[in-house]
Structure formats: C-alpha cells, structure tokens
Amino acid sequence: MTDFIPLQSNLTSTPVLYLNPKASAADLHGCAVQRVKATRDLMHSLNCLGLKGVHDQDLQHIVNAAHLLLQDGCDALDALQWRIEG
C-alpha cells in the first residue's frame, strides 16, 4: 500500500484513510468535485438557516463535517496537481 497517500484528515497515529494518487485524472477530479460541492451545499444550507437557537455543539458538528469534506477534496486536488506536473 506504499503507493497510496494518507488523507490529511486522518487524526490517528496510524492513518486509516488513503488516496490513490495513481487514479485517473478524471477520478481524482471527480472525487475532489464531489467533496467540494458537498461542502458548498452544506455551507449554503447553514447560510440559509437562522443561527438563533442553534446549539454550539450542532454548529461544531457542521463545521467538522465541512472541514473533513473540504480537506479530502483538497487532498484529491493536490494529487491531481502532482499528476499534471509529473
């Protein structure tokens, strides 16, 4: 599994989730787009909600989910960049 790179969103000493940097450019792009758009949609929903009455813990859950999705999408974009430059 040495060809795979750990996602930066791994918070454990031994990474669990990995990215295949040798995946096709279309697959890396598709992975990134899916996660970035999911983050965008999540933030849009949050923007449309009134924050009055939202508990701090609920907001933290949304922010954590958005961060994970966006970080994974950025990792896929980085791998795509390496493919383009390589």
Predicted TM-score of the model (pTM): 0.85
16-68, pLDDT tens digit by residue?
999 999 999 999 999 999 999 999 999 998 888 877 888 889 889 999 999 99
pLDDT tens digit sequence for 71-84: 999 999 999 999 88
The per-residue pLDDT for 47 is 87
CA-to-CA separations, 7 to 1, 10, 76, in angstroms, rounded = 14, 6, 9
Which H or E element spans position 38? helix 25-48
Q: Give the domain ranges of the chain.
A: 23-85
Query: Which residues are CB-contacts of 28 (< 8 A; sequence separation ≥ 6)?
Result: 21, 76, 77, 79, 80, 83
